[in-house]
Structure 1
């Protein structure tokens, strides 16, 4: 059969992070011990209180459809948590989604049309590009690699990239894949440009609770002038080690919530009911868990920086998230393929994020496995 597929599907590639993880799983199924540092998934179990809350919710019969925008208890807790970050949303401005990725997808679909300009800050998470292309958007990219992945020194470049025709700008701080936390001055520069050119900004804050050395990630929507032009994205996967639970949310102005809500109602309908009840418990009772996990990530980050330095590899160290961008050969795709086949260490090519010459490493793995990964890379002449 000569089958034709829609342009919106054929113009994107599979997720690079998922592809590497799948290859690692295939090798492991063949009996190969792979140190998989490709996926941003905390290696901590979901907190017991969250698991018990989900069980209790199922026992209480919360197994049917939930309100499409989310159960009231969870939206109220989200509003309180956002308020602590200076974000003045109300419950009607929240959509609880089955994973943060679904929330982003709905926003891209609601705002981006054929030919709409979408501006990304490179290196950028792989799925932003795919979401823009699926919606028909045209990408403009601002390269931060020459500035140790920081935005503030590149504000002039961003100013040249945006215009009155820019429909959407995506800001991710703390950043995946770099761990960079953008300064208040950088975010104020984004605010000034967004106001000047009337741009809607997605502020992806999924890693907002994972920062180090006293650094705090400012929420873009809390800045004067950004309340009506910011979509704040967050979720439970990273901070609460709930990746498989698929629970996220967007907070946005009323008109965006109305349009994105249509997409939710006609696609996934709602996030899983009992999972939302577990999310309430995560927000109410798991601050100590988050702090303990964050401290462990901080120790791993410091250890890795020292290990790479021992091999004369200067790795930029971010102030948040749990990723490092390791400088590698110019052909980072081939480097990563060789590293997984020869050293049995899985990392993601930087070119997938718009940063060729790097490989992204996730240190959401034990110190033992991280040490082993660096040793394997060194022994096989990858460092």
Structure 2
């Protein structure tokens, strides 16, 4: 008999999203807030360019492995606008099969077995488990709630640094919290990176989804952080192009050669048809992001207004917010069951999304339901809290 599971998967847990979705089935009355999707359409120019590329011989090729030069140039141009830095599209930009495929390639290029990677708690489970797949050890810095918002404690971040720290992996706005790092927090990240002499791996997948007029800040715009920063970006969230699965990595040339090798030997090449659509999205002024952000903020505002008085942490960007189950006297999987049975809301428990903080919470994604359907969510949630005990075994028992 073939030997069992490898040790690599010993601490890797499922998202939990699929169990909640399966429990919903096709019930149209349920608010679908369990998965990070959106109903706002991609840029029309991206759809047209993708369709036009189908049947184009150049788009139906393995080459170039690291992405078309035109798309790498567009990414370099965008990063210059955001950071003030000039990225060589040939040696410092790699196109990947989505930002998350790029993240694994970056980790393979920057960490060795037993190295430590610092992340926040909560953080996206896909980030945590890619660290583990690369053989590194996640070290969690708990986020704290201050004034109803998520904040990073500089002292806790500094204390997490050790001789084994090889990278800090952050997202802003973050999933699932919607935490946006402010300048003081970025300053603490800079200090930690300089002290550890480590990489800053920056997931910029939602970087333009900022609420309440918050200013944009790319960490590479800090002069001392620029040599340490590797940016992973994509079009799934900002541009609402989830199905395209095209992203990019940009960073210093001394590491990008290894990132390119990891990407080539992992996925070979991103879809040529979809690269054409992504190029159109990045180079067309009518990308729809401003309007989409306005709509997402209106949904966030509605949900947080209706849940006023409940232990909700207000997101400063992104597509989701967290509701504290333990503050309501129960564990997150139980709250998830109650929300589905009595509130007709699908929400994922954050059991696998951190260490000590995340398991307290369930996530509510407001990006995929229109305002008309979100109205009344406060009554739904309170019905779940006040209603009878859910049927045991119904819905997600664990993450």
- Residues 108-257 of structure 1 aligned to structure 2 (within 5 Å): 108-147=107-146, 148-151=149-152, 154-257=153-256
2: CA distance, partners of 1:146 / 1:193: 21
2: CA distance, partners of 1:104 / 1:129: 11
2: CA distance, partners of 1:77 / 1:53: 15
The alignment of Structure 1 onto Structure 2 pairs a total of residues equal to 375
Equivalent position of 1:36 in the other structure: 32
2: CA distance, partners of 1:183 / 1:382: 38
Equivalent position of 1:344 in the other structure: 344
Contact 1:300-1:363 within 8 A present in 2 as well = yes
Equivalent position of 1:89 in the other structure: 87
Query: Residue deviations 1:142-162, cap 9 Å, x none?
Result: 1113444212xx001111111
Give 1:51 shift: 0.8
Contact 1:119-1:166 within 8 A present in 2 as well = yes
Contact 1:34-1:346 within 8 A present in 2 as well = yes
2: CA distance, partners of 1:5 / 1:380: 39
| More deviation, 258-267/68-77 | 258-267
Equivalent position of 1:366 in the other structure: 370
Gaps of 5+ in 1: none
Equivalent position of 2:394 in the other structure: none
Contact 2:95-2:246 within 8 A present in 1 as well = yes
Query: Residue deviations 1:323-356, cap 9 Å, x none?
Result: 1111223411221133224433111213332223
Give 1:293 shift: 0.7
2: CA distance, partners of 1:261 / 1:102: 12
1: CA distance, partners of 2:154 / 2:376: 39
Contact 2:141-2:157 within 8 A present in 1 as well = yes
SS at match of 2:62: coil
SS at match of 1:369: helix
Compared CA separation, residues 22 and 168, structure 1 to 2 (3 A):
farther
Contact 1:209-1:239 within 8 A present in 2 as well = yes
Gaps of 5+ in 2: 388-399
Compared CA separation, residues 121 and 377, structure 1 to 2 (3 A):
same
SS at match of 1:343: coil
Contact 1:168-1:199 within 8 A present in 2 as well = yes
Contact 2:338-2:384 within 8 A present in 1 as well = no
SS at match of 1:119: strand
Equivalent position of 2:49 in the other structure: 53
Please tell me the root mean square deviation across aligned C-alpha atoms, in Å: 1.9
More helix by share: 1
SS at match of 2:306: helix
Give 1:83 shift: 0.6
| More deviation, 369-378/354-363 | 369-378
